A and B are shown apart, each in its own frame.
Chain A
Amino acid sequence: MKGILKIIDIINDRIGKIVSYITLIYTFLVIFEVIMRYIFNSPTIWSAELTYYLFGIQWLIAGAYDVLYDKHIKVDIIAEKFSKRTKAIADLFGALFFFLFIGTMFYHSLILGWEDMLIGKRSFSIWGPPIWPVELCIALGAFLLLLQGFAKVIRDISIVREGGEYK
């Protein structure tokens, strides 16, 4: 089990590092469009849409990276007074809501993305790129979150049962 948890950590760490470079791509796309529009007076029909899809894909996929490094904002005024074991129990309770929310997201985005892929659905803009890759990215992001959430649950259970911790 320890091996599996380690692999999940590594997967999300690497994927997070890779998608962090998307920041540079969308930044330069915004500037590219500014230059095209204001200097060459020939705005593109695709850059704005591509830019926000890229940012969307980044934060969807990096959600799991933020879970791995505990970056999601929480209020720990009360929780910080808990013992390690109580904290783990509280987190396990919270995990029920996490899995309900993210599980729902995974299931429905996978179905929608799959169906839209089969009919080749496109976005309604003039550029009109296929929309299903973005929908499938929601599913991918949710899947990675579920993996990382699973790893956290196993670690919390081991804290509750043995007082020890899987690293």
Chain B
Amino acid sequence: MIVIAPLIMLAALLVLIGLGVPMAWAMGGVGSLFTIFLWGPDSLFGIVGRTMGWVGNFTILAVPLFILMSVILEKVDLAEDLFDAVYKWAGGLRGGLAVATIIVCTNLAAMTGIVAGAIVAMGVVALPAMRKRQYDKQMSVGSILAGGTLGILIPPSIIIVTYALFSGLSVGKLLIGGIIPGLLLSGMYIVYIIVRCFIQKDLCPAPPKEERASWGEKITSLRNIILPCLLIIAVLGAIFSGIATPTEAAGVGAVGSIICGLVLRRLTWKKLYEACMSTMTLSTYIMWIILSATFFAQVFTATGGIDLVSGIITALPFGKYGILAIMLLILLVLGMFIDSFGIIAICVPIFMPIITAFKFDPLWFGVLFNITMQIAYISPPFGYSLFALKAVAPPDVTTKDVLMSAIPFIAIQLICLLLIIFFPQIGIWLPNLMLK
């Protein structure tokens, strides 16, 4: 019984999730059921202790605070201002709108920790603009998909905060660790777009001379975005220098975004209320998943499941990098189907012993984890970003267009992943400069 218990647990979980049962109830229910089978119903009281543990966690507060910051900056329509400014500065560059999309997404990623916001905003603002200029359909869609997903990697990212909590690493270091890989990836996208537009001259035509912005217009376009950019620098600077904890920095970011909204005269009571509401619904489902997943993982560990799975993976005869590849492949496949928070809660406890056994740097693995999640988000046919974009795209953009457009950008992500695997310094140099 004991030996096969973990396997039955995993099977039961997969069946329930496949049937469309919310992940929180599937993991919590299977965890409870096996607690009763293995240790009797009296052992179930441990669940209250688990819950109190998550209630009494100061670091996790960074999650709702970063969400609030994201939602408010989204509600005050910053994406449009950013896009306008970057496009004006791009001038006569061929493919300028697609490059602007990537740059805006990079900035949005640094203001927000959620992916859907950036994709939807760009799908509404940038996609029609690119269609109007007769840009190649796949290039336009692809740049939004790739750019919008940068939010996972570039801090503040709520996925990174959660990963840090489960792996026991420093939240600040992991957040800072996303900066250079994020900028590298964004730079690689831009180079790809510029080079392709240079070779294929009619792919993304440049704007005619008379439509290009004058210097005066360029300067004015910066007016609305200065404050949010200062906010990013303040939040990341506070984390990097170690002056404030990530939670405090997130609080500063949230209040700062409210102040930005007020200064721009775009934040109304109604928008603030809606922002609180979406922050609550989002962070609530995240917390219930985290809670039930830790409960599930605890029971799974006690049945010997973690030893079993990590034992199987460790015993595979593929060498150090083969096993790394297998772990990343598991994450990639899971990431196409399952919510990232659930993946973190289940996989991190399983992978941590393997990472220690093979003397991988856990911080470095964290960066690889986040890039893999990005690949999963835009991988056909089930990637999360694909659906988010399809939902807001004009009707002449077909599902096939969306799926095909992702492919070159997935290739770029894979190259970036390989670069960081073979040059770990890209990921760990900056966080290791931090004091604590």
Stretch at the interface among A4-12, A97-105, A156-164: A97-105
Question: Chain A CB within 10 Å — which of B52, B273, B288, B341 has the most?
Answer: B288
The dominant DSSP class at the B interface is helix
Q: Are B21 and A53 within 8 A (Cβ)?
A: no
Q: Are B23 and A31 within 8 A (Cβ)?
A: no
Q: What residue in chain B is nearest A86 (Cβ atoms)? A: B19
List residues of B (324-355) whose CB comes within 8 Å of A's CBs. 337-339, 341-342
A34 at the interface (CB under 8 A from B): yes
Q: Which residues of B contact A65 (CB under 8 A)?
A: 280-281, 284
Q: Are A74 and B22 within 8 A (Cβ)?
A: yes
Q: Are B28 and A20 within 8 A (Cβ)?
A: no
Interface size on A, residues (CB 8 A): 63
Q: Are A62 and B280 within 8 A (Cβ)?
A: yes
Q: What residue in chain A is nearest B54 (Cβ atoms)? A: A56
Q: Are B25 and A58 within 8 A (Cβ)?
A: no
Q: What residue in chain A is nearest B57 (Cβ atoms)? A: A52
Q: Are B33 and A56 within 8 A (Cβ)?
A: no
Q: A78 vs B234: C-alpha distance in the bound complex, in angstroms?
A: 45
Q: Are B55 and A72 within 8 A (Cβ)?
A: no
Q: A52 vs B51: C-alpha distance in the bound complex, in angstroms?
A: 13
Stretch at the interface among B84-92, B136-144, B250-258, B411-419: B250-258
Q: Are A101 and B288 within 8 A (Cβ)?
A: no
B61 at the interface (CB under 8 A from A): yes
Q: Are A101 and B255 within 8 A (Cβ)?
A: no
List residues of B (8-63) whose CB comes within 8 Å of A's CBs. 16-26, 28-33, 44-45, 47-48, 51-52, 54-58, 60-61
Q: Are A58 and B280 within 8 A (Cβ)?
A: yes
Q: A17 vs B283: C-alpha distance in the bound complex, in angstroms?
A: 15
Known contacts A63-B284, A135-B48: A75-B58 contact under CB 8 Å = no
B166 at the interface (CB under 8 A from A): no
B277 at the interface (CB under 8 A from A): yes
B112 at the interface (CB under 8 A from A): no
Q: Are B382 and A97 within 8 A (Cβ)?
A: no
Q: Which of A24, A66, A77, A109 contacts B337 (CB 8 A)?
A: A77
Q: Are B25 and A97 within 8 A (Cβ)?
A: yes
Known contacts A31-B255, A33-B248, A109-B48: A52-B61 contact under CB 8 Å = yes
Question: Chain B CB within 10 Å — which of A16, A27, A62, A87 has the most?
Answer: A27
Question: Chain A CB within 10 Å — which of B21, B272, B285 has the most?
Answer: B21
Interface string of B260-274 (1 = CB under 8 A from A): 000000000000110
Q: Which residues of B contact A154 (CB under 8 A)?
A: none
List residues of B (201-222) whose CB comes within 8 Å of A's CBs. none
Interface string of B219-241 (1 = CB under 8 A from A): 00000000000000000000000
Q: What range describes how many residues of B lie at the interface?
A: 35 or more
Q: Are A75 and B23 within 8 A (Cβ)?
A: yes
Q: Which residues of B contact A17 (CB under 8 A)?
A: 277
CB distance from A104 to the nearest CB of B (A): 5
Known contacts A72-B285, A135-B48, A138-B48: A20-B29 contact under CB 8 Å = no
CB distance from B44 to the nearest CB of A (A): 5
Q: Which residues of B contact A100 (CB under 8 A)?
A: 29, 32-33
Q: A69 vs B277: C-alpha distance in the bound complex, in angstroms?
A: 12
Q: Which residues of B contact A79 (CB under 8 A)?
A: 18-20
Q: Which of A27, A48, A57, A138 contacts B68 (CB 8 A)?
A: A27
Q: Which residues of A contact B284 (CB under 8 A)?
A: 58-59, 62-63, 65-66, 71
Q: Which residues of B contact A23 (CB under 8 A)?
A: 64, 68, 276, 279-280
* 7 A-B interface contacts by CB (under 8 A): A23-B280, A30-B254, A38-B244, A73-B289, A74-B17, A97-B29, A105-B47
Given contacts A100-B33, A134-B55, 11 further A-B contacts (CB under 8 A): A20-B273, A27-B255, A49-B56, A55-B55, A55-B61, A59-B280, A65-B280, A73-B23, A73-B339, A97-B29, A104-B32
Task: Please give me the 9 A-B residue pairs with the lowest Cβ-Cβ distance, nearest first.
Answer: A97-B29, A79-B20, A56-B55, A30-B251, A94-B21, A101-B28, A72-B22, A23-B276, A98-B25
